[in-house]
Structure 1
Amino acid sequence: MTQLTDERPAPTVTTSTVRPAPRWPDASFGPTDTKRGWIVTLVVTAIAAISRFVMLNYPTDAGTPVFDEKHYAPQAWQVVTGGGVEDNPGYGLVVHPPLAKQLMAIGEAMFGYDGWGWRFASAVAGTVLVLLVVRITRRLTRSTMIGAIAGLLLIADGLTFVSSRIGMLDIFTALFVTAAFGCLIVDRDDVRLRMARVAVEGRIALTPFGPRHGVRWWRFGAGVCLGLACGTKWSGLYFVAFFGVLCIAFDIAARRAYRVERPWVGALRRDLLPALWALLVVPVLVYLATYGPWFASETGVERHAVGSKIGTGGAFGFIPDALRSLWYYSSGVLEFHEGLTNSAGNHHPWESKPWTWPMGLRPMLYYYADGPDVSGCGGSECVKAVMLIGTPALWWVAVPVLGWALWCTVVRRDWRFAAVLVGYAAALVPWFFSLDRQMYYFYAVAMAPFYVMLVAMALGQVIGKARAGKERRSTGLLAVCLYLGVVIANFAWLYPILTALPISNHLWHQQLWLPSWR
């Protein structure tokens, strides 16, 4: 290679026009095919409704609820017949907040005390959950197609499918936390749109802290949804904490993106207190509102604990008696849950721990019947079962999907994967801090919407961006369609043991793929 010397003429420099990068981020959010987006959403939601409502009243235990429906269906019926208040004579207290039972009571008031009645609200919640996942994923990816893929994956997920067809609580928790997440995503876009308007008007630099945003109704909506989640199960508190951090992170990122001089201080000064109001105070108020019938009652469990079980004075005597009674009642519920530990001798044959949930390695048997009274399979030995199983073709790819999501978050700085991972982590990580407690796979229902979003976004990257070559996108689309086909086929294979259709004993054992499924 020839070396340059001082005597060598200087090289000729070719000048070109350098275009500066845009000063502000793109202020356009979401796909523009609004009409097509809603048509696709409603079609996918209709498919979800059909799958959730067909044979909804089957099976029952001789006309009575199955598994833990035996707790919640009678409590919901007490809401119908007892002035909106439920109790639990078997345990002496009600171990979860009232909202899910109140929603189940609507179905029982409409259809009576039967399978349709105590499962109707669950099926509605499972159907609406699919709609939310389609719309949230569509907004995250700016693609109607990827949103539809997410909806189809959720439809074919055995975990949410069974949870949508049984009168238990977790499908409602999943619905409300997903709705809260969706509100925060819309709020993020709305804040950036407001920042873009301020930037165009030249007001960004008027203060080093950036502009105030005024009333943020979507964040308020997130607070309402989180309050409803806590009014269903106390595990909603985990999402309050995780989503609160996510909201502040969104605010800091928005101020940084629009070159606010002091974005961190600006977010703390301008956004922190409103965020605490929307995501802490509002959920508390909504949670208390779910106890409205209990406050109004005279016979609710521990309604008048003040004066009978606890004193009327003391350091907390200034607090209204009704709230002190609710606190006493809740402390009893907490004591009950704290006593459900393995070390205290509480064991269940279908118990599972959180490290098994991401791949659904330890499902749960909700219903089982065999013997001479079971027929309809075309043979002499028939089995009917309902097992809570996450579709393996979907859940068994959790390790690469989560690995890819972490890569996109840490290396690519993709906020979309980061945001969904926050929701996924809120549903999973806190349970690792109480491993001695009894736990079950149905706790993972709240993970499912966020996991499906991660899978759909990863599949969207397999398809490729719009500017990718036609051959590249066609190949990616083919691969994604094949994978969707495998998931749906796997779901169809499991369908008999998700719905208690009669099958032969031989086929029943063929359905149990892993030793941990037995």
Structure 2
Amino acid sequence: MTETSVRPASRTWLVRPAGAFTAEAFRARLIGGIQSWRDYPPSLRLWFWLTPVITTAIAGILRFVRLGTPQSLVFDETYYVKDAYSYLLSGYERNWPEKANDSFKAGHPVLPLDTAEYVVHPPLGKWMIAWGMALFGPESSFGWRFAAALTGTLSVFLVTLIALKLFRSHVLGGVAGLLLAIDGHHLVMSRTAILDIFLMFWVLAAFGALLMDRDDGRRRLAARLAALYRNGSPPATALVAGPFLGMRWWRLVAGVCLGLAVGVKWSALAFVAVFGLLTVFWDMNARRIAGIRSWGSAAVLKDGVPAFLTMIPTAALVYLATWTGWLQSTGAYFRGWAEKQPASGWDWIPAPLRSLAHYHLEAYKFHQGLGSDHPYESSPWSWLVMGRPTSFFYESPKQGTAGCELPSCTTAVLSVGNPVIWWGATIALAALLFWWIGRRDWRAGAILAGVAAGYLPWFMYPERTMFFFYALSFEPFLILAQTYCLGRILGKPGDPQWRRLSGLYLVALILVLAVLVSAYFYPVWTAETIGYQDWRMRMWMPSWI
């Protein structure tokens, strides 16, 4: 049926076939056929939840088995575990006596000193570690790492659901969850009580919330546009800018998650900026597809401003709430700074907040000048190819001790990823650039945005000491990038049978290879005692030693 035109009193309107302006028609144009798990056939609805449950179970087994090994504090656990214990005792960080690490290793932690310690990271990640210690006791290495292992396991659940949302495929959802579950870098960070696993989790949760908001916003836009057409042609001004979409609750959830991410590490601020722009660009494109004439300016005014007012104040308040222990204390570092300063024009701000602002300024100066040499420092240029992974733990047990039956043994924890996954994801990023720029695929752009937010800001500080495990914040997006390309290899339902079969065999081969490589590297991810030569055979690059 062709479109015809009728001329009302003041304007010519384009009249489309019957049903073209219903809410269902707009939703199909803006979102597509599958909008939630209810839109799957009944036979597949169970798999919508069973797939993430299976991948999460695999992740949990890999992360919780032998979680307490090694018993000693490894790498930066020497800071964060002791800080977490201080939180349980006083709500803020305190200094420790000499050889405090030995007391933790022996299972009888000493008490911290009465003096406050100066730290440069926000409190939330340490509070999350403290939660595990409160459950299982500060003397238990399992308790130190429980929160990290649980958070890492739940992140696999989130990645599986996010992949289902992005690709609308149970197979690709399972692929994404499996790849993250078996990757060594994510596995090591999930078994170590340091901050980056918590940062990654809250960033990932914020991204998932914004994906939910994307569909929710488009459903609202479809319903409001359909309502305008319900009683005939809408007013001309209604189609110039389009309707307001009301309160976006998933954006509020994203704001909470981003505030929690910043409450773990300040590097999450880049995600706040990128994700904020991303959600507005999605709304801008939705208004364009819906036929709104001034879609750009309308998205800025009717979507961008509300998005800012929803997400940024929420994130700021949540971030401030993570400092509750510090604010309620009297002995924390810099806690009484404001009271000791002469009168100024800022006295109208409560003294605790002025002291907190001073704390942030000093911490920022510290980060700017952090450039000391470290044997495992790593340039961001080498992260994607794992040029210099971080050694968290290394021991050489003697024959007859600690399970060593050979003349020379090694027990190690190396935060190296699965080469099949990481090197494959690096190649996938180039393919995503093509699909985003050449084919305007929003999914490719969303994944690239997550990688850019977590990766590119580090190039702004070339003099700062950095480590490979900082890449954990954007690793889930690398997994999604590889999953995206594997989906392209699988092809579409309408492709010839030979194309589908060849794609299926190739993807299966890649997954089997990734599983086998993970099994091979598992001993150097989990501190298993193996022969020294076996350890050397797993050091595929000289820079890994």
CA positional deviation for 1:375: 4.0
Partner amino acid for 1:48? A
Map 1:19-418 to 2 at 5 A: 24=26, 25-27=29-31, 28=33, 29-30=35-36, 32=40, 33-61=44-72, 65-82=73-90, 84-88=91-95, 92-113=117-138, 114-202=140-228, 206-308=238-340, 310-311=341-342, 313-341=343-371, 346-372=372-398, 374-418=401-445
User: 3-state SS of the aligned residue for 1:202?
Assistant: helix
User: 3-state SS of the aligned residue for 2:393?
Assistant: strand
CA distance in 2, matches of 1:455, 1:148: 13
Partner amino acid for 1:79? Y
CA distance in 2, matches of 1:182, 1:244: 13
CA-based RMSD: 1.8
1:406·1:417 contact (CA, 8 Å) conserved in 2?
yes
Partner amino acid for 1:173? L
CA positional deviation for 1:472: 2.2
1:251·1:271 contact (CA, 8 Å) conserved in 2?
yes
Where in structure 1 are there 5+ consecutive unaligned residues? Answer: 1-16
CA distance in 1, matches of 2:485, 2:207: 19
- Among candidates 466, 470, 493, match of residue 493 of structure 2: 466
Map 1:3-22 to 2 at 5 A: none
1:93·1:333 contact (CA, 8 Å) conserved in 2?
no
Report the counterpart of residue 7 of structure 1 in structure 2. none
CA distance in 2, matches of 1:216, 1:26: 17
CA distance in 2, matches of 1:447, 1:154: 12
Are 2:540 and 1:513 equivalent residues in the alignment? yes
CA positional deviation for 1:378: 2.9
Report the counterpart of residue 4 of structure 1 in structure 2. none
2:30·2:289 contact (CA, 8 Å) conserved in 1?
no
Report the counterpart of residue 446 of structure 2 in structure 1. 419
Identical pairs, percent: 39
Report the counterpart of residue 7 of structure 2 in structure 1. none
Cα deviation, 1:83-129, whole Å, max 9, x if unaligned, reads x3223459941221000111111110111112111100000110110
User: 3-state SS of the aligned residue for 1:476?
Assistant: helix
Partner amino acid for 1:128? L
CA distance in 2, matches of 1:169, 1:434: 20
CA distance in 2, matches of 1:208, 1:401: 39
User: 3-state SS of the aligned residue for 1:385?
Assistant: strand
Report the counterpart of residue 12 of structure 1 in structure 2. none
User: 3-state SS of the aligned residue for 2:266?
Assistant: coil
CA distance in 2, matches of 1:261, 1:26: 16
CA positional deviation for 1:388: 0.3
Partner amino acid for 2:304? L
2:30·2:218 contact (CA, 8 Å) conserved in 1?
no
CA distance in 2, matches of 1:290, 1:439: 25
Report the counterpart of residue 104 of structure 2 in structure 1. none
CA distance in 2, matches of 1:238, 1:496: 35
CA distance in 2, matches of 1:88, 1:230: 24
Partner amino acid for 1:329? Y
In the TM superposition, structure 1's runs of 4+ consecutive aligned residues that sit over 6 Å from their partners are 17-23
CA positional deviation for 1:156: 1.3
User: 3-state SS of the aligned residue for 1:235?
Assistant: helix
CA distance in 1, matches of 2:303, 2:515: 44
Residues 302/317 of structure 1: CA separation in 2 closer, same or farther (3 Å cut): same
CA distance in 1, matches of 2:369, 2:30: 53
CA positional deviation for 1:195: 1.4
CA positional deviation for 1:18: 7.3
1:59·1:500 contact (CA, 8 Å) conserved in 2?
yes
User: 3-state SS of the aligned residue for 2:56?
Assistant: helix
CA distance in 2, matches of 1:394, 1:30: 29
Partner amino acid for 1:39? L
Report the counterpart of residue 485 of structure 1 in structure 2. 512
CA distance in 1, matches of 2:289, 2:433: 22
How many residue pairs match? The answer is: 492
User: 3-state SS of the aligned residue for 1:177?
Assistant: helix
1:367·1:386 contact (CA, 8 Å) conserved in 2?
yes
User: 3-state SS of the aligned residue for 2:414?
Assistant: strand
CA positional deviation for 1:67: 1.0
CA positional deviation for 1:47: 1.2
CA positional deviation for 1:471: 3.1
Where in structure 2 are there 5+ consecutive unaligned residues? Answer: 4-15, 98-115
1:30·1:140 contact (CA, 8 Å) conserved in 2?
no
TM-score (norm 2): 0.87
CA distance in 1, matches of 2:298, 2:205: 28
Partner amino acid for 2:375? P
Partner amino acid for 1:319? I
CA distance in 2, matches of 1:356, 1:100: 26
CA distance in 2, matches of 1:140, 1:510: 38
Partner amino acid for 2:485? A
1:79·1:102 contact (CA, 8 Å) conserved in 2?
yes
Partner amino acid for 1:34? R
1:87·1:94 contact (CA, 8 Å) conserved in 2?
no
Report the counterpart of residue 6 of structure 1 in structure 2. none
